[in-house]
Structure 1
Amino acid sequence: MSGYETLTLLVSVTAVIISTVSLVRTRKLAKEQLELERVTAELSRLQIQTLEEDRESRTKPKFNVTLSKLGKSSFFYISNTGEGTAYGVNFELIDCDDSPLTGDFSEKFPHPEMKPNSRVKLYAAMHMGSPLKYQVKISWKNAAGEYEDDIFWVTK
């Protein structure tokens, strides 16, 4: 074998080695690129889901119930702190044998509509034997006409 042939063979072998290394690296990069695209697609899906949930929560009412004392009088405050309107709102004390609710309750509930940032005040006739905590159920109809409810524990 002549020097020229040996040199040609070495150049050819070197080219094959460089091509193989380049092919392996390209495949590795392509695999990483596919994984990155998959992760990006999953993140996009989660972001769209979060945006949809945020949009839904903006149209939902969110209630808060408190029991407050002002002077010698006590009151249940039912507040809609959400951004949606609730219709046909009802208030119920669960497992309460000695209800502190007074006559104005039947006039105020079911409440026809509670818009965002609105509240209803109910007089509560408390006495020495009244329980320290009450379980309250608020039920309502959302803008789509579906019934929803929530349960709260309120204390004096």
Structure 2
Amino acid sequence: MEVSDIIAGLALLVSASALIVTLRSFKSQSRLTDREIELVRIQIQQAHGEAKREKTASVSARLNRIDRTNWRLRVFNTGPATARNVRLLLDDQNHIIEESFANDKFPMNKLEKGQSVDLAAMVHMQTPPKEWLRIAWEDPSGEVKENRVEITI
């Protein structure tokens, strides 16, 4: 064995080890790229979800006692978007809201974020302790939403 053979063998070992290190770094880079792609997917999904939430109104109602004998039903929008064509859907079982009071104020063209509307409520000894009220509205996306709210005394 000559010196040139030894040098050639060492060069072969060095190039083989460099090849192994390069393959490992490619594998590591590939894993990192896959994680980055997954992270971008998650960020895109979150952005779409937030954009959808920004176009969603959330209309609800609550019965408030003003004094000993006066009650008000407050209909309000807690969502970030404006609710359009807000309607109270009263059924025959309704004992709290007089239909004429509701017809005076509803349907509303729009209910802005944080805006509320008060209706006079009639609470008496025969009023059931809880009733259901349905509220329907349209989101800015044009989708019709409905919320069924339990009103308790």
CA distance in 1, matches of 2:28, 2:85: 55
Moved over 6 A (4+): none
Q: 1:98 to 1:45 in 2, by over 3 A?
A: closer
1:108 is aligned to 2:98: no
Structure 2 alignment gaps of length 5 or more: none
Q: 1:8 to 1:153 in 2, by over 3 A?
A: farther
Which residue of structure 1 lines up, in the alignment, with residue 21 of structure 2?
25
Picking from 87, 92, 95, the partner of 1:90 is 87
Q: Note the aligned Cα RMSD (angstroms).
A: 2.1
- TM-score by length of structure 2 reads 0.84
Q: 1:23 to 1:154 in 2, by over 3 A?
A: farther
Which residue of structure 2 lines up, in the alignment, with residue 145 of structure 1?
142
What SS does structure 2 have at the residue aligned with 1:99? coil
Native 8 Å contact 2:55 2:141 kept in 1: no
Letter in 1 for 2:61: V
Q: How many residues align?
A: 151
Q: 1:15 to 1:67 in 2, by over 3 A?
A: same
Q: What does 1:20-99 correspond to in 2, within 5 Å?
A: 20-71=16-67, 72-93=69-90, 97-99=93-95
CA distance in 2, matches of 1:153, 1:17: 78
- TM-score by length of structure 1 reads 0.83
Instruction: Spell out, residue by residue over 1:32-62, the C-alpha distance to the aligned partner (whole angstroms, 9 max, x if none).
Output: 1112112112211221222232223223212
What SS does structure 2 have at the residue aligned with 1:120? strand
CA distance in 2, matches of 1:24, 1:134: 73
Instruction: Spell out, residue by residue over 1:52-97, the C-alpha distance to the aligned partner (whole angstroms, 9 max, x if none).
Output: 3222322321223211111021221111122222111112357x72
* Identity across matched positions, percent: 25
Q: 1:120 to 1:18 in 2, by over 3 A?
A: same
Letter in 2 for 1:50: Q
Native 8 Å contact 2:65 2:72 kept in 1: yes
Deviation at 1:128, TM superposition (A): 2.4
Which residue of structure 2 lines up, in the alignment, with residue 125 of structure 1?
122
